[in-house]
Amino acid sequence: MTARTVRRLTLTVGLSLILALALTVTVALAQGGAPSSGGYYYTVQPGDSWLSLSWRTGIPVADLKAANPTALHPRDWLWKGERLFIPAKPTLPPGAVPGATPAPDAASAGIWYQVKAGDNWQIVARDSDVSVLDLWHANPMQLRANGWLYAGQWLWIPNAATPAPAVTPIAPAATAAPVVTATRTLTPTRVVTLTVALTATQVTPLPTLTVTPTKPVVQPTATVTTALTVTKPAATAVVTATKPAATAVTATVPVSPTASAAGVKPAAVPSGCPAGMAAYADAIAARLNQPNTAPTDLTAWLKGCGAIQDKQGSVTVAPITGPTSKDVIVALRDPATDQVTPRGLLLVYHASAKGYALARKVEGAGPIALLKAGDVNTDGKPDRIWTDTTCGAHTCFSTLFVESWDGKAYQDWIVGEPTIAYGEYAFTDTLPAGSGDEILVHGGVIASAGAGPQRAWTETYVSPKGGPYELFNQVYDDSKCLYHHVLDANKAFGQWTSAGFEPAIKAYQAAINDTALEACGSIKDEAATLRDFARFRLIVALVGGGKSPLTAAMKAQMTDQALTGAADTFLTSYHGSGSVIQACRDVTTYAVANPASWNFLAAWGYANPAFTAQDLCPLN
């Protein structure tokens, strides 16, 4: 063997080893291996955001971003398909030992239990002799929207003097985490085996709130069809939402489980009813095609099977394939589930001379409610509008869907998947910008203390010239919360490149001068501090708008030391450079060194915008 051959062989072996190592690492990542600190991987789905993932996982946005530095993109976007590491290592209380039991008289009596492969909430509740509801209350940060438990995560078992025989706490150990790829249509089994075994219950991921404000709204008087207007728990919103003047037809879905619902086994299938949701499509078609059977006869049968219940589910006859056809749209709930918000199913049957045939099937992530059927946007094509609702530990979110029949197939007829908390839906034709009825959606208040002070809003969707529905505008309800008016002024300030500074000047002046506006947060000297922030921003806007002589009087009214320093920095820099851009850059340097000038706006709950040193004077 020549020296040249030896060198080639050595190089080949070396490259093979490198490729093998790379492949091993790739496979390990694909299998969802988690860092030693604990956690699991999640694949980003359409509609996901840092905020929605934070709410669903209980992990602060800052921690999620810190764990995924390569996923930080402009405008805080997440990209569909990218994998995020969700740090989910449980935190034991001070002095607690896994598996240990506190003193019998301790207020927090219980034990720590580490989830094993195959566990779910019902199994842990049964084996520890604790209700599912009590487990949920004791482990709020472990409640995921999909209801899954992960092998290795820790649960607090409340009111357990000693470990139950079937619940044997184990010492913390590194466990491989599953790769979780969620979709809006999820049909989990009791035990789902991915890389490692994990257990899923039938509650699917919640979509996120994504809205884009545009033009001012024209407030119409409308008839509301409310799909699943859920009964809210004690609201944490400081400002009570004002609903559109309308008559609502409501359906109720519990926001949080009731004691009677926790751990209840599915009821036996009634005689003559399909054995499961998958069998309903064919069973309904068979009934529709029986002699002397009218479509409306389905309702009584489906109620008897539990597939329509308590305003969940419906049977609607509507012309789709022709102007006089009696096509049938059926919305069902899963009668065999023990979940408080059962999965829904939407079925569309087209009528013909040969009978009824299934033309469309939509599996819901949660309950489905048909809002309207017909030519809603007057484009000559029949439409179906419905919502799919999913509920978490404290809030229910509804996603709006619109489909149009073009004579051959159903087409998606709305831009995106608009999602909102506690949505109420109305249809009205008052705007010239759209064809036919506009869709009004009101809601948005998240029933969670961590969400911060909120106000509801109304979104209006229009169908331009009969095209797909799109967001026309978003208008917030009136609020007496000073913080909300500061946010509105901040929004106007952010539009200075297109609208100039005058709208921001008026908005900040209103926030400063309206004495009816109230504190709604928890920061010290809230009203005075927020008004001084408004004065600082007003100084910047006045200079930018060519009204520098008015800044001296405004600065003289300021009392907050840190914000006064920011104003001094801005004015000194501007007088020296003649540039508001440079002045704002110098304010940013000041803000980094003096966080008291801005951090009072940084912690208003996850439903409100974040705020950093760079946001104090964001002209660039």
Q: Does residue 231 surpass a pLDDT of 80?
A: no
Q: Which amino acid is at 407?
A: G
Q: Does residue 269 surpass a pLDDT of 50?
A: yes
Mean pLDDT of 318-331: 95
From start to end of 290-367, where are the E strands?
314-318, 327-333, 344-352, 355-363
Closest CA to 281 of 349, 383, 210: 349
Mean pLDDT of 425-433: 90
Predicted confidence at residue 275, as pLDDT, reads: 87
Asked if 542 and 554 count as a contact pair (C-beta separation under 8 A), the reply is: yes
Predicted confidence at residue 575, as pLDDT, reads: 95
Q: Which amino acid is at 50?
A: W
| Alpha helices (runs of H) in 309-395, residue ranges in sequence order | none
Strands 410-412 and 396-405: antiparallel
Strand (E) or helix (H) holding 199: strand 197-199
3-state secondary structure 97-156: CCCCCCCCCCCCCEEEEECCCCCCHHHHHHHHCCCHHHHHHHCHHHCCCCCCECCCCEEE
208-223, pLDDT tens digit by residue? 333 333 333 333 334 3
Please report the sign of the dihedral spanned by the C-alpha atoms of residue 429, residue 434, residue 437, residue 440: negative
Closest CA to 153 of 216, 86, 245: 86
List all residues 6 or more positions away from 362 whose beta carbon is below 8 Å from its beta carbon.
345, 346, 347, 368, 386, 401
Asked if 306 and 335 count as a contact pair (C-beta separation under 8 A), the reply is: yes
pLDDT band at 56 (very low <50, low <70, confident <90, very high): low
Give the range among 87-96, 226-235, 331-340, 364-373 with minimum mean pLDDT.
226-235
d(CA 594, CA 587): 10
3-state secondary structure 233-245: CCCCCCCCCCCCC
pLDDT band at 268 (very low <50, low <70, confident <90, very high): low
Strands 40-43 and 179-180: parallel
Q: Identify the residue whose tokens are 């995560």.
A: 153
Q: Which amino acid is at 82?
A: E
The residues that bridge with 349 in the sheet, in sequence order, are 328, 358
Q: Does residue 55 surpass a pLDDT of 80?
A: no
Q: Calculate ∠ Cα 234-236-237, nearest 5°.
A: 120
Please report the sign of the dihedral spanned by the C-alpha atoms of residue 124, residue 125, residue 130, residue 131: positive
Cα distances from 289 to residues 43, 191, 357, in angstroms, run 43, 37, 9
Query: Which of 42-56, 108-122, 338-352, 406-420 has the highest average model confidence (pLDDT)?
Result: 406-420
Mean pLDDT of 306-327: 92
Mean pLDDT of 323-341: 88
From start to end of 319-409, where are the E strands?
327-333, 344-352, 355-363, 368-374, 383-391, 396-405
pLDDT band at 18 (very low <50, low <70, confident <90, very high): very low
Predicted confidence at residue 88, as pLDDT, reads: 60
**Buried/exposed 71-102: b ≥16 CB within 10 Å, e otherwise:** beeeeeebeeeebbbbbbebeeeeebeebebb
Predicted confidence at residue 186, as pLDDT, reads: 29
Q: Does residue 609 surpass a pLDDT of 70?
A: yes
List all residues 6 or more positions away from 305 whose beta carbon is below 8 Å from its beta carbon.
269, 270, 272, 273, 274, 335
97-150, pLDDT tens digit by residue? 444 444 333 344 678 888 887 788 878 888 888 877 777 767 766 666 556 777
Q: Does residue 155 surpass a pLDDT of 50?
A: yes
pLDDT band at 503 (very low <50, low <70, confident <90, very high): very high
Cα distances from 2 to residues 6, 8, 11, 15, 540, in angstroms, run 6, 10, 14, 20, 78
- Residue 170, helix vs strand vs coil: coil
Q: Does residue 319 surpass a pLDDT of 70?
A: yes
Q: Which amino acid is at 427?
A: F
**DSSP characters over 16-45:** HHHHHHHHHHHHHHHTTPPPTT--EEEE--
Q: Does residue 82 surpass a pLDDT of 80?
A: yes
d(CA 508, CA 547): 15
Q: Does residue 177 surpass a pLDDT of 50?
A: no
- In degrees and rounded to multiples of 5, residue 470 shows phi and psi of -145, 160
d(CA 551, CA 549): 6
- In degrees and rounded to multiples of 5, residue 29 shows phi and psi of -70, -40
Closest CA to 316 of 277, 349, 283: 349
Predicted confidence at residue 141, as pLDDT, reads: 62
List all residues 6 or more positions away from 608 whose beta carbon is below 8 Å from its beta carbon.
451, 452, 453, 454, 483, 487
Q: Does residue 617 surpass a pLDDT of 90?
A: yes
d(CA 527, CA 516): 11
Q: Identify the residue whose tokens are 């209006």.
A: 460
Mean pLDDT of 181-196: 30
541-573, pLDDT tens digit by residue? 999 999 999 999 999 999 999 999 999 999 999
Predicted confidence at residue 126, as pLDDT, reads: 82
Q: Identify the residue whose tokens are 């005058």.
A: 502
Predicted confidence at residue 146, as pLDDT, reads: 57
d(CA 551, CA 567): 9
Q: What is the DSSP letter of 618?
A: -
CB atoms closer than 10 angstroms to residue 319: 15
Based on C-alpha coordinates, what's the Rg of the chain?
A: 29
Mean predicted lDDT score pLDDT of the chain: 76
d(CA 370, CA 414): 15
Structure tokens at 443: 């809601």
Closest CA to 427 of 400, 449, 395: 400
271-309, pLDDT tens digit by residue? 789 988 999 999 999 999 998 888 878 999 999 999 998
Predicted confidence at residue 301, as pLDDT, reads: 92
Q: Does residue 513 surpass a pLDDT of 80?
A: yes
The residues that bridge with 356 in the sheet, in sequence order, are 351
